[in-house]
Amino acid sequence: MDDNGRWAQARGLDRIKGHHEGAESVREISKACREWGVEALTLYSFSTENWKRPADEVQGLMQLLKRYLKDERNELIDNNIRLRAVGQIDRLPIFVRKPLQAIMRDSDRPNVKMTLTLCLSYGGRADIVQAAQRIAKAAQAGQLKPEDLDEKAFGLHLGTAGLPDPDLLIRTSGELRLSNFLLWELAYAEIFVTDVAWPDFRRPQLGQAFASFGQRERRYGKTSAQLTEGT
Ligand code: IPE
Ligand code: MG
């Protein structure tokens, strides 16, 4: 979700206003995904690097998150959306952590239609390193043989364990980089980059991204002919 700050500045507004409009996009996109049958939506909301921003912007983002959680709690639960968070949750202020954990607990129900994951204080490399540490500890404790470790087992130690690998990565603001997002999980994702800023990314733009995705041929290393033959 990129370009909130510049979107606001280009309109002579405070950067935080861009984040507020971006939160509106989160609401609309979550709803659209849920209606269109998306199983999992994962939003890069705040990176480990974002802590380095000016204190008032960080504070504004945390307040916004608190408000989002308060306002969306019932909407998420009523729409059978399960909320999940990935990242260094213990670094978040208590006024965010508490409602976040409460919604995660209360929205984790058997009739869930979609999982909405917020990456908060998240970095892809840090998550992989953490997984490696957990695996090394398990091996040291004799609970895991190194030769038994495969990609599937490795993935179960990541913050995103249990979520399907993303089919589609959408990047707003036209930047052509991953910015440390889901480095392991995106291995085979289709990438859609749009010049649209995140506050302007709404249902029609999501529809365009899905239409583009629908035209891709996903070969996973095979040839086109193999795919049509089904081999
Ligand atoms: C995305 O917008 C939201 C967060 C990273 C929190 P930015 O804040 O990155 O906006 P720009 O890229 O500075 O315009
Ligand atoms: Mg940015």
Give the pLDDT confidence of 204-223 residue by residue, as tens digits: 999 999 999 999 998 999 99
Ligand 2 centre distance from Cα of residue 1 (Å): 8
CATH for 4-122+166-210 is 3.40.1180.10
Position in ligand 1 atom list of the atom nearest CA 53: 8
Examine the pLDDT at 48 and tell me if it is beyond 90: yes
Average pLDDT of every residue of the chain = 97
**What is residue 28's three-state secondary structure?**
helix
The pTM for the full model equals 0.96
Q: What is the mean pLDDT of residues 20-41?
A: 98
Give the residue extent of every domain in the chain.
4-122+166-210
Contact 182, 155 (CB under 8 A): no
Ligand 1 contacts CB of residue 53 (under 6 A):
no
Give the pLDDT confidence of 58-79 residue by residue, as tens digits: 999 999 999 999 999 999 999 9
Contact 114, 41 (CB under 8 A): yes
47 φ/ψ angles, rounded to the nearest 5 degrees:
-95, 165
Give the pLDDT confidence of 105-146 residue by residue, as tens digits: 999 999 999 999 999 999 999 999 999 999 999 999 999 999
Give pLDDT, residue 218.
Answer: 87
Contact 63, 70 (CB under 8 A): no
Q: What is the largest CA-CA distance in the chain?
A: 59
42 φ/ψ angles, rounded to the nearest 5 degrees:
-120, 125
User: Which residues fall within 8 angstroms of residue 112, CB to CB, at 6 or more apart?
Assistant: 80, 81, 82
The Cβ of residue 123 has, within 10 Å, a number of other Cβ atoms equal to: 20
* Active site (annotated) includes residue 50: yes
Examine the pLDDT at 230 and tell me if it is beyond 90: no
Tokens of 209: 């991204």
Position in ligand 1 atom list of the atom nearest CA 3: 14
> What is the rounded distance in angstroms from the CA atom of residue 9 to the CA atom of residue 6?
5
Q: What is the mean pLDDT of residues 172-198?
A: 98
**What is residue 41's three-state secondary structure?**
strand
Residue of the nearest CA to atom 1 in ligand 1?
Answer: 2
Ligand 1 contacts CB of residue 61 (under 6 A):
yes
